[in-house]
Amino acid sequence: MSAETQIAIEELELLLTRTPSRPNAPKYVRLADAFQEGILSGIFEPGQRVPTETDLADRLPLSVGTIQKALGQLASSGLIVRNRKSGSFITDRHAQVSEVFVYRFKDPETGETMLPRVDTRVVEADGSSGPWWDFLNVETCIRMDRIVGFDGQPPAFSSVYFKPEHGRPFQDRPLNELNSTSVHRMLIDQFGLPTLRMEHSLSCAPLPLEATAPLDLTPGTLGMVWDIRDYSLRDQPVLYQRYHLPPGHAAVEIEETCMRQPAA
């Protein structure tokens, strides 16, 4: 075992001895959390080789199977990259989510991914109650309202809810600059918080006035409400997104990525 690998395991052992953020979680989750803490704090640097499963099992009170599940979760989240021949490495946190575009569709003719035009209308503090309260565990959010759309399709209305400390940088920028800004990229660049997991829910409901007015629809028009909950490192909630899709909008396609367990 190289000296570099030895130091990495010793650092990981120290992280595992700290009070876990999720003490009742399975062992593989606590190991993955320890890795995430090391990555977020800069203890583990981009490009650093991850010790082998055998080396980790020799030093840690964990089975190879537990270690495999933890590394599989890290790889699925984009925190490490695995190669059967060369091993596993810590990825650059700024490259873990190249860009997270939720609202995107495929061109029906070419099959290429189309990204929408964005018109940012407002970024402001919002104390209205909603599911974002419980999810973000706050009573006041920073809300960004946008109209998004593609050529030849009816546009949609989008609201993005941030925790106050994460949304304030958006309030300080001109609205037209935000039209080409990825909120996910900004969370990475300013706070080191990549989006690693999303939960989606869709329902059919009358669209509220705040959505129908900018879309030139009759109040109460029936449409689709699409909610997205974004999670970052240690599974902490970071964003709540709500899209209001009008009648005639293109079908929503959600691609699920299943965690693949590494071969033994």
pLDDT of residue 255: 66
Residue 61 lies in a domain: yes
- The pTM of the full predicted model, rounded to 2 decimals, is 0.70
Which amino acid is it at 195?
T
Name the one residue in this structure whose structure tokens are 């997991």.
Answer: 197
Residue 59 shares a structural domain with residue 183: no
Asked, for residue 205, whether it belongs to a domain, the answer is: yes
Give average pLDDT by consecutive 10-residue segment, the chain, 264 residues: 64 82 83 84 83 90 92 80 81 54 75 82 94 95 94 90 95 89 83 84 95 94 95 87 93 58 33
Q: What's the confidence (pLDDT) of residue 6?
A: 55
Q: Are residues 136 and 88 in the same domain?
A: no
Q: How far apart are the C-alpha atoms of 169 and 161, rounded to whole Å?
A: 13
| 259 domain residue, yes or no | no
19: domain CATH number? Answer: 1.10.10.10
Are 140 and 164 in contact by the 8 Å Cβ rule? The answer is yes
Please tell me the distance from the alpha carbon of residue 131 to that of residue 141, in angstroms, as a whole number.
11
| Structural domain total, the chain | 2
* Residue-level pLDDT at 97: 44
Give the residue from 43, 69, 95 where a domain finishes. Answer: 95
Residue ranges making up the domain that contains 63:
3-95
Q: How many CA atoms lie within 13 A of 157 on its CB side?
A: 21
Same domain, 124 and 238: yes
Domain for residue 113, yes or no? yes
Q: Are residues 133 and 222 in the same domain?
A: yes
Residue 128 and residue 86 share a domain: no
Q: In the prediction, which pLDDT does 261 show?
A: 36
